Amino acid sequence: MTSTLLRPSRRPSANAGGRAGARSTARRRRPGYWFVLPAVGLFAIFFLYPLLSSLWQSFFSTTGGESTWVGGAQYLRLFHDPLVAKSLFNVGLILVIQVPLMVCTALGLAYLLNQSWLRFRTGFRAMHFLPAVTTLVAYSLVFRVMLATDGGAVNQLLAMVGMSPVDWLNSEAWSRVALIASITWRWTGYNMVIILAGLQGIPAELYEAARIDGAGRWAIFTKIVIPQLRPVILFSSITSTIGALQLFDENFILTGGGPNNATLTPVLYLYKVGFQQFDFGYASAIAWLLVAIIAVVSVVQFAIMKEKK
Amino acid sequence: MTQTLKRLPVYLVLLVGAALSIIPFLWMVIASTHTTAALFATPLPLLPGGELWKNLARLQQETNFSQVMLNSLVVAVIYTAFSCVVSAMCGYGLAKFRFRGRGLVLGAVLLTMMIPMQVLLVPLFQMMASLGWVNSYQALILPFLANAFGIFLMRQAFLDFPDSLIESARIDGAGELKTFYRIVMPVARPQLAALMIYTFISQWNSFIWPLLMLNTEDKYTLPVALNTMIGLSRVDYSGLMLGSLLATLPLLLVFIIFQKQFVSGLMGGAVKG
By the CB < 8 Å criterion, does A29 face chain B? Answer: yes
Nearest to B151 by CA among B272, B12, B22, B23: B272
> To the nearest 10°, the Cα dihedral for A4, B143, B264, B153?
40
pTM above 0.90, yes or no: no
Whether A253 sits inside 8 A of B93 (CB atoms) is no
> For A77-97, what is each residue's pLDDT tens digit?
999 999 999 999 999 999 999
Q: B195 CA to chain A: closest CA distance, Å?
A: 16
Express the helix, strand and coil content of chain A in percent, nearest 5 each: 75, 0, 25
- Chain A residues 249-278 within an 8 A CB cutoff of chain B: 249, 252-253, 267, 270-271, 274-275
Instruction: Judge whether B29 lies within some domain.
Output: no
Instruction: Judge whether A66 lies within some domain.
Output: no
Position A211 scores a pLDDT of 85
pLDDT tier, B267 (very low <50, low <70, confident <90, very high otherwise) = low
User: Would you say B141 and B82 are in contact if contact means Cβ atoms under 8 Å apart?
Assistant: yes
Low-confidence ranges of chain A (pLDDT < 50): 1-27
Instruction: Judge whether A294 lies within some domain.
Output: yes
Instruction: Judge whether A67 lies within some domain.
Output: no
B52-86 as b/e, with b when 16 or more CB fall inside 10 Å? beebbebbeeebbbeebbebbeebbebbbebbbeb
Position A21 scores a pLDDT of 44
The count of C-alpha atoms lying within 13 angstroms of the C-alpha of A38, restricted to the half-sphere facing its C-beta, is 20
What percent of chain B stands above pLDDT 90? 53
Q: Can you tell me whether residue A150 is helix, strand or coil?
A: coil
pLDDT tier, B271 (very low <50, low <70, confident <90, very high otherwise) = very low
- Write the CATH number for A127: 1.10.3720.10
Position B138 scores a pLDDT of 93
Q: Are residues A45 and A131 part of one domain? A: no
Nearest to A224 by CA among A194, A201, A191: A201
Instruction: Judge whether A70 lies within some domain.
Output: no
Instruction: Judge whether B160 lies within some domain.
Output: yes
Instruction: Judge whether B151 lies within some domain.
Output: yes
Of B40, B168, B177, nearest to A148 by CB-CB distance is B40
| CA distance linking residue B63 with residue A223, whole number of Å | 57
> For A163-172, what is each residue's pLDDT tens digit?
888 889 999 9
Whether B13 sits inside 8 A of A185 (CB atoms) is no
Residue B59 is classified by DSSP as H
pLDDT tier, B133 (very low <50, low <70, confident <90, very high otherwise) = very high
- Chain A residues 97-136 within an 8 A CB cutoff of chain B: 109, 112-113, 115, 117-118, 124, 127-136
Q: Are residues A26 and A80 part of one domain? A: no
Q: Can you tell me whether residue A212 is helix, strand or coil?
A: helix
Output B5 or B196, whichever has higher pLDDT.
Answer: B196
Domain count, chain A: 2
By the CB < 8 Å criterion, does B95 face chain A? Answer: no
Instruction: Judge whether A222 lies within some domain.
Output: yes
The count of C-alpha atoms lying within 13 angstroms of the C-alpha of B64, restricted to the half-sphere facing its C-beta, is 12
Residue numbers in A near B124 (CB within 8 A) = 46, 50
pLDDT (average), residues B75-93: 95
pLDDT above 80 for B253: yes
Residue numbers in B near A201 (CB within 8 A) = none
Domain count, chain B: 1
Q: What is the CA radius of gyration of chain B?
A: 23
Position B1 scores a pLDDT of 60
> DSSP letters of A65-117?
G--EE-TTHHHHHHHH-HHHHHHHHHHHHIIIIIHHHHHHHHHHHHHHHT-TT
Residue ranges making up the domain that contains B227: 49-272
Residue numbers in B near A283 (CB within 8 A) = 121-122
Q: Are residues A28 and A123 part of one domain? A: no
pLDDT tier, B97 (very low <50, low <70, confident <90, very high otherwise) = confident
Of A10, A34, A53, nearest to B123 by CB-CB distance is A53
Residue ranges making up the domain that contains A26: 2-57
Position A308 scores a pLDDT of 60
| CA distance linking residue B168 with residue B188, whole number of Å | 19
By the CB < 8 Å criterion, does B82 face chain A? Answer: no
Of B24, B208, B222, nearest to A143 by CB-CB distance is B24
Instruction: Judge whether B23 lies within some domain.
Output: no
| CA distance linking residue A103 with residue A94, whole number of Å | 12
> For B14-33, what is each residue's pLDDT tens digit?
999 999 999 999 999 999 99
Residue numbers in A near B105 (CB within 8 A) = 36, 40
pLDDT above 70 for B73: yes
Instruction: Judge whether B28 lies within some domain.
Output: no
Q: Is A304 left (phi over 0), alpha (psi -120 to 50) or beta?
A: alpha
- Write the CATH number for B191: 1.10.3720.10
Instruction: Judge whether A177 lies within some domain.
Output: yes
Q: Are residues A92 and A52 part of one domain? A: no
Q: Are residues A102 and A42 part of one domain? A: no
Q: Are residues A151 and A31 part of one domain? A: no
Output A16 or B261, whichever has higher pLDDT.
Answer: B261
By the CB < 8 Å criterion, does B180 face chain A? Answer: yes
Of A33, A39, A197, nearest to B99 by CB-CB distance is A33
Instruction: Judge whether B19 lies within some domain.
Output: no
Instruction: Judge whether B3 lies within some domain.
Output: no
Instruction: Judge whether A69 lies within some domain.
Output: no
- Chain A residues 45-74 within an 8 A CB cutoff of chain B: 46-47, 49-51, 53-54, 57
Of B112, B223, B271, nearest to A43 by CB-CB distance is B112
Instruction: Judge whether A62 lies within some domain.
Output: no
